[in-house]
């Protein structure tokens, strides 16, 4: 049989979100693949996603993590644009994995801190979880750029 119309509408909504993220990343001047993979990891391309901690939208912009940057951007741009601007700024300052980790949990993700993430005592730590998550996002983006499934 065929799928109900609501599934087609949902698929179209998610596809449009994916295209929007890719386009926005291109306009912002960085790799659209990384932004699309980040949006999938953050929200499964659901523009209406809200996390348990209150992060919202495709890139899960969260007042607590992105407060300083978001305050400056809130009046003039959408959450997607705010997320892309924040990610662009982080990518300009840090290597990709550290930028993604900082995007995910904020300033507590530092190079000195994450260097200890291989330590057995640190495996359940929130920063180390974000560091591993960022590595997964970076790896998926790298593989997608090469066309590897």
Task: Dig out the tokens for 85 from the structure.
Answer: 């601007």
Task: Dig out the tokens for 114 from the structure.
Answer: 């994450």
Partner residues linked to 61 by β-bridges: 56
Task: Dig out the tokens for 121 from the structure.
Answer: 């005592």
What element of type H or E holds 31?
A: none
Cβ atoms of residues 54 and 43 within 8 Å? no
- In this prediction, residue 139 has a pLDDT band, given cuts at 50, 70 and 90, of confident
Q: Could you give the 3-state DSSP secondary structure of residue 61?
A: strand
Task: Dig out the tokens for 106 from the structure.
Answer: 């904020």
- 106 DSSP assignment: -
pLDDT in the model for residue 76: 38
Quick one: CA dihedral 24, 16, 82, 113, positive or negative? negative
CA distances from 112 to 48, 108, 116, 127 (A): 35, 10, 7, 11
pTM over 0.85: no
Strongest mean pLDDT among 59-68, 74-83, 128-137 = 128-137
């Amino acid at each position: 049989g065929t799928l109900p119309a609501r599934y087609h509408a949902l698929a179209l909504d998610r596809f449009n979100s994916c295209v929007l993220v890719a386009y926005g990343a291109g306009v912002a001047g960085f790799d659209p693949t990384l932004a699309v993979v980040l949006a999938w990891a953050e929200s499964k391309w659901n523009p209406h996603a809200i996390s348990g901690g209150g992060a919202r939208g495709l890139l899960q912009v969260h007042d607590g993590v992105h407060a300083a940057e978001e305050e400056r951007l809130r009046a003039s741009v959408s959450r997607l644009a705010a997320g892309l601007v924040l990610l662009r700024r982080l990518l300009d300052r840090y290597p990709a994995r550290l930028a993604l980790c900082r995007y995910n949990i904020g300033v507590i993700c530092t190079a000195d801190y994450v260097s200890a993430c291989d330590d057995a005592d640190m495996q359940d730590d929130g920063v180390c979880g974000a560091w591993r998550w960022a590595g997964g996002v970076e790896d998926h983006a790298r593989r997608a750029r090469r066309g590897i499934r």
